[in-house]
Amino acid sequence: MARTASCCLRRNYGRAFGDLGTLGDLGLDGEINLLLRRGWPADLVVSHSPDASAGKDWVGAAQVFRKYTSFRVLLALIFGILAMRKASCLVGCLAMSAFAFTRDASAMTPAGAVIHNSAAVSFDMDGASHTVQSNTVETRVAELVSYAVSVVTPTVGGARVGEVLTYTLDITNTGNGDECFVVSQQPNANVAEPVELVAVHVDSDGDGTFNATKDAVIAAGSCGPQIATNRRMRFFALGRMPADTGESQAEFALNVAPHDSGPGYGSVLPGSGDAGADKVIGYDAGASAARMWAQTSKLVVSLVKSQLVSGRAQTTAVTGDVITYSLLFKAGGEGLVKGAVVSDPLPADLGYMPGTLILDGVALSDSSDADAGHSADGLVAVRLPDQVAPFEHTITFQAVVRPQSS
Domain hosting residue 9, numbered range: 2-104
Which of 296, 325, 356 lies at the terminal end of a domain, its last residue? 296
Count of domains forming the chain: 3
* Residue 211's CATH number: 2.60.40.10
In a domain, 58, yes or no: yes
- pLDDT in the model for residue 367: 87
Q: Which residues contact 169 (CB under 8 A, 6 or more apart)?
A: 149, 150, 151, 152, 153, 183, 234, 235, 237, 254, 256, 290
- pLDDT in the model for residue 176: 92
What are the tens digits of pLDDT across the range 350-391? 999 999 999 999 999 988 888 899 998 889 999 999 998 889
List per-block mean pLDDT (blocks of 10 residues) for the chain, which spans 406 residues.
Answer: 38 40 46 52 42 38 40 43 41 36 59 93 93 94 91 85 91 92 79 85 95 94 91 95 73 83 76 88 75 78 92 88 94 83 92 93 89 90 91 94 70
Note whether 151 and 290 are same-domain residues: yes
In a domain, 364, yes or no: yes
In a domain, 121, yes or no: no
Which of 85, 104, 123 lies at the terminal end of a domain, its last residue? 104
- pLDDT in the model for residue 51: 40
Note whether 149 and 99 are same-domain residues: no
Our CA dihedral for 384, 388, 390, 395, rounded to 10 degrees, sits at 0
Note whether 159 and 23 are same-domain residues: no
Note whether 149 and 62 are same-domain residues: no
In a domain, 83, yes or no: yes
* Residue 365's CATH number: 2.60.40.2260
Note whether 281 and 311 are same-domain residues: no
Note whether 257 and 164 are same-domain residues: yes
Note whether 216 and 93 are same-domain residues: no
Instruction: From 11, 17, 118, select the one nearest 68 (Cα to Cα).
Output: 17
Burial class of residue 10 (count of CB atoms within 10 Å of its CB; 0-12, 13-18, 19+): exposed
What are the tens digits of pLDDT across the range 53-66? 333 333 443 344 34
Which of 232, 261, 296 lies at the terminal end of a domain, its last residue? 296
- pLDDT in the model for residue 74: 44
Note whether 281 and 170 are same-domain residues: yes
In a domain, 132, yes or no: no
Note whether 99 and 149 are same-domain residues: no
In a domain, 79, yes or no: yes
Note whether 286 and 305 are same-domain residues: no
String of b and e for 109-135 (b: at least 16 CB within 10 Å)?
Answer: eebbeeeeeeeeeeeeeeeeeeeeeee
30 φ, ψ (degrees, to nearest 5): -65, -40
Q: Model-level pTM?
A: 0.53
Note whether 58 and 197 are same-domain residues: no
Note whether 265 and 164 are same-domain residues: yes
What are the tens digits of pLDDT across the range 305-339? 999 998 888 888 889 999 999 999 998 877 778 88
Instruction: From 402, 405, 382, 404, select the one nearest 394 (Cα to Cα).
Output: 382
- pLDDT in the model for residue 286: 66
In a domain, 160, yes or no: yes
Preceding peptide of 50 cis, ω within 30°: no
In a domain, 152, yes or no: yes
Our CA dihedral for 255, 258, 263, 266, rounded to 10 degrees, sits at -100
